[in-house]
């Protein structure tokens, strides 16, 4: 009888350890998944919305994805005009320039509102700059304006405050 009781206790202890092992394996995979997710979020670059106002037209630009691994860099762009029709022929006249001013890449596409309205918004897409730059500048050349609209972001600085990095 004693021997049967000992075996039963061993079996119970073994079963409890097996369950505990499965829990630890599940916890292990949960921790691995969390670390991978955190790494992906940490590698994503959160860049600030910038606004340029001139000649009665406001242009707001927010980078959506300018990461190292992106297939295309994308920017949310919004135009607002008071009493004017927006005739910009996007993506024409939009360029990405690196900090050194050496890379000048034209936009690939515009996925957004057509010309003619007072308000327009959409997404501009670009081929990513290679090698990955420390900073980028988006230039939007608008019809009838002397100078292009400039939007700059540092990709190597966590603060990404355009006022801190005027060039």
123-140 average pLDDT score: 92
What pLDDT was estimated at residue 17? 53
CA distance 167 to 164: 9
Q: Is the pTM of this model over 0.85?
A: no
Contact indicator for 118, 126 with CB cutoff of 8 Å = no
Measured torsion, CA atoms of residues 102, 129, 122, 161, in degrees rounded to the nearest 10: -80
For residue range 22-43, list pLDDT tens digits in order: 544 554 444 444 444 444 333 4
Which CATH number does 50-154 carry?
2.60.40.1240
């Amino acid at each position: 009888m004693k021997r049967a009781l000992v075996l039963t206790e061993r079996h119970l202890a073994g079963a409890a350890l097996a369950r505990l092992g499965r829990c630890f394996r599940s916890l292990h995979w949960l921790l691995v998944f969390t670390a991978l997710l955190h790494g992906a979020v940490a590698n994503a670059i959160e860049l600030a919305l910038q606004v340029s106002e001139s000649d009665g037209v406001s242009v707001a630009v927010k980078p959506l994805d300018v990461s190292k691994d992106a297939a295309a860099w994308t920017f949310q762009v919004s135009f607002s005009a008071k009493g004017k029709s927006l005739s910009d022929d996007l993506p024409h006249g939009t360029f990405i320039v690196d900090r050194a001013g050496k890379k000048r890449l034209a936009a690939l596409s515009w996925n957004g509102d057509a010309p003619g309205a007072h308000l327009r918004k959409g997404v501009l897409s670009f081929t990513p700059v290679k090698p990955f730059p420390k900073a980028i500048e988006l230039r939007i050349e608008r019809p009838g304006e002397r100078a292009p609209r400039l939007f700059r972001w540092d990709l190597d600085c966590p603060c990404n405050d355009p006022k801190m990095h005027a060039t």
